[in-house]
A and B are shown apart, each in its own frame.
Chain A
Amino acid sequence: MVSTQYFIKRTAMAVVTFFVVISLTFAMIRLMPGGPLDYIQSQMAAAGQAPGEIAAEVERFSSINPQEPLWQQYLTYMANTLQGNLGESMWYNDPVAEILGNAMPWTIFVSIISMILIYLIGISMGAFMAYVEGSRFDVSWSTVSILLTSVPFYVIAVVLLWYLGYNLEWFPTSGHYGRGVEEGFNWEFISSVMHHGALPIASLTLAGFGATALAMRGNAIQILGEDYLRVARLRALSQRRIALRYVARNAVLPMYTSMMISLGSLFGSSIILEQIFQYPGVGYFMYRAISARDYPLMMGTFLFITAGVIIGVYIADLTYGYVDPRAGSGDREAF
């Protein structure tokens, strides 16, 4: 269903967007008055270092040599970034790529599990609410959904951490797995990871599923009023088939793209979330980078989050044709 032409077009768009993001990152670092370069330079100068040394140091941290002409700085930065050289963290004195490489799986783990749970719970809840529209279940869960949606995830996170983490001590309050647990594919490790990840995932899910449930409810109610649903009932199709193949399928369609994009916003949420739970993922390091003015690390995490959104949208674009036959590739002729 996805034609080569469409595939190439979408891939090119994703790549171009990514280039633009890297360029913007460069422009931000380079051109901001009082920006990171000035900051590093002034720190070095204050320490009494020679300009040549300062330039070398700056390049080590930010992949930008301030003594080169601007276009060359840009090319170098671009080349370095694409090779995965994101500079070196000023705070940790480790390569940014290495820090991110270690942190990334954890953030991806929390975000993806949360996204799956948000949409699983949200969609089933919303569909059921639509089926029993106007009933007590519908009204009460609509209210709960609105309430949960209006409470920010970090408030839920703090409450969960305080109550389940510190008060009841059911869940650990920091880290991504227990001390002394050996990393590997064994039950002890997996259960420890689950145990540590439960609260962050729960806060994102609790704060997120309400909006999905309400959206799904609205879509499903609309689909339930469609002519084809009436025809389907008259044709005596089974309830199961109508619910899954007719209502759910058509109601989920408009939410598919937003689901993919939500991965990006979940990455963004990780900044505060991982700080609250002391969960060393990308967000945790970004928060550290911001408070320590660790610009290279900040830029690296920024790139990571945008890349997350771009990849999400890219996958959504490529797969949408399979989910909705009408979108497809646009090259199938209507006859």
Chain B
Amino acid sequence: MTTNESPTQVTDTDVDVADPILSVRNTSVTFDMERGASRVLDGVNMDIERKEILGIVGESGSGKSMFASALLDAVVDPGVIDGSITYHPTPEESVDILGLSTRELKKYRWAEISMVFQGAMSSFNPTMNMRGHFEETIDAHNENYEEGMARARELLSDLYLDPDRVLDAHPHELSGGMKQRALIALSMVLQPKVLVMDEPTAALDLLMQRSILQLLHEIKEKYEITLIFITHDLPLVAELADRLAVMYAFEFIEVAPAEEILQNASHPYTRSLLNATPNMSTPIEEMRPISGSAPDPVDVPEGCSYHPRCPLATEQCREVDPDYHSVRHDHEAKCFHWEQAADAIPFTLPQQPGDSHSDADSDAGAGTGVNN
């Protein structure tokens, strides 16, 4: 299964957790295109702890959604997935997801691991009412109808929706926020253990985003699920997630507890990303876009994939792909210069005023690709 990945990288990653519900090992997704193989997920390793909230952050086209699809073995054609993804329904059991037959996969998806897509607006059949969506889902998995519908009603109420009204409504009769919540309810109607949410708040206004996050937190506590939350909005997910994983160029470049990332991000990209994220309370002058553009999946740069855009890049970065360096126990950064990153790229977070304000005015070449 290990293709052209250096084997050291696998062993060097310290992404293991004590009780993983999902372990992803050396998983790649490739699309054969005319100009070459497009590797949109590149030998990724990740463990997802039981009942944690894992936030996955990255810019558009960094492979976040691919990772989400891979977890359900639902990569769209003609994508090819290889590597291994193991699901542990209990700490003792393990299921090889990529080896499941189509029938087993049908039982696994939605019932064990469920998914909320980006664009809840278009996730419902426009010619069917919401009750129909719940009923057919319960029916397709041969669940007890009464219990299933009772659960659906409870979930809808938990999400502050009126079950009677919503179930009788057609999708076009619900607002965006209601559809989003209804979709969350639909994704949990079969009591999955893991819920993957791919940009669930992308199409919602700021207020709705906040309340959905709040609801997710409540739901997660009540139903004891593991939540994987994928977004490009780092500050947003930082409030919700226990652990954050930052993706760049189709792999994870930094993994750490949420608080740790906000206080002590050690990868230059993560730091620049924090600077680049627009926020209501950040003055526009302090926002710094990351110059350059995201790498092409057909032609990822040699060495560290971030080197063309990184202010700290050296000869070493251009030639050798860095391993994960342990910043602290449970904090990994895939960078040679993780120790210098904090000084080179200062960032301010609106939540922590004065955190690194002292050097905020010294430009220090933040985010400007000086090496390129």
Contacts and interface: CB of A to CB of B under 8 A. Distances in A.
A234 B125 contact: no
A228 B127 contact: no
Contacts of A237: 136-137, 140
Nearest to B165: A335
Interface string B60-82: 00000000000010101000000
Contacts of B165: 335
Nearest to A233: B74
B172 interface: yes
Nearest to B124: A228
Contacts of B195: none
B127 A250 contact: yes
A187 B16 CA distance: 79
A26 to B, nearest CB: 44
A213 B122 CA distance: 26
Chain A binding surface, main DSSP class: helix
A246 B127 CA distance: 8
B109 A234 contact: yes
Nearest to B172: A326
A238 B102 CA distance: 12
Interface residues on A, range: 20 to 34
B173 A334 contact: yes
Contacts of B107: 236
Nearest to A232: B125
B165 to A, nearest CB: 7
Chain B binding surface, main DSSP class: loop
Given A234-B109, A234-B110, A235-B110, A250 B136 contact: no
Interface string B180-203: 000000000000000000000000
Contacts of A235: 109-110, 136-137, 140
B36 interface: no
Given A234-B72, A236-B106, A236-B109, A226 B175 contact: no
B122 A241 contact: no
Given A250-B125, A325-B127, A332-B173, A241 B136 contact: yes
Contacts of A231: 117, 123-124
- Most B-side CB within 10 Å, residue of A234, A238, A324, A325: A234
B357 interface: no
Interface residues of B, number: 29
Contacts of B76: 230
B348 to A, nearest CB: 37
A226 B122 contact: yes
B74 A325 contact: no
Contacts of A238: 140
A230 B116 CA distance: 11
A246 B125 contact: yes
B119 interface: yes
A17 B170 CA distance: 33
Interface in A228-281: 228, 230-238, 241, 245-246, 249-250, 253
Interface string B140-184: 110000000000000000000000010001101111000000000
A183 interface: no
Contacts of B279: none
A227 B127 contact: no
B115 interface: yes
A312 to B, nearest CB: 22
A129 B106 CA distance: 26
A12 B9 CA distance: 75
A227 B174 CA distance: 17
Contacts of B128: 245
B173 A335 contact: yes
Given A234-B110, A236-B110, 14 more contacts: A226-B122, A227-B122, A231-B124, A235-B109, A235-B137, A236-B107, A236-B141, A237-B140, A250-B125, A250-B127, A323-B127, A324-B126, A325-B170, A326-B170
Interface of B: 72, 74, 76, 106-107, 109-110, 115, 117, 119, 122-129, 136-137, 140-141, 165, 169-170, 172-175
27 contacts: A226-B122, A227-B122, A227-B123, A228-B122, A231-B117, A232-B125, A233-B74, A234-B72, A234-B115, A235-B110, A236-B106, A236-B109, A236-B141, A237-B136, A245-B128, A245-B136, A249-B125, A250-B125, A250-B127, A253-B127, A324-B127, A325-B127, A334-B173, A334-B175, A335-B165, A335-B174, A335-B175
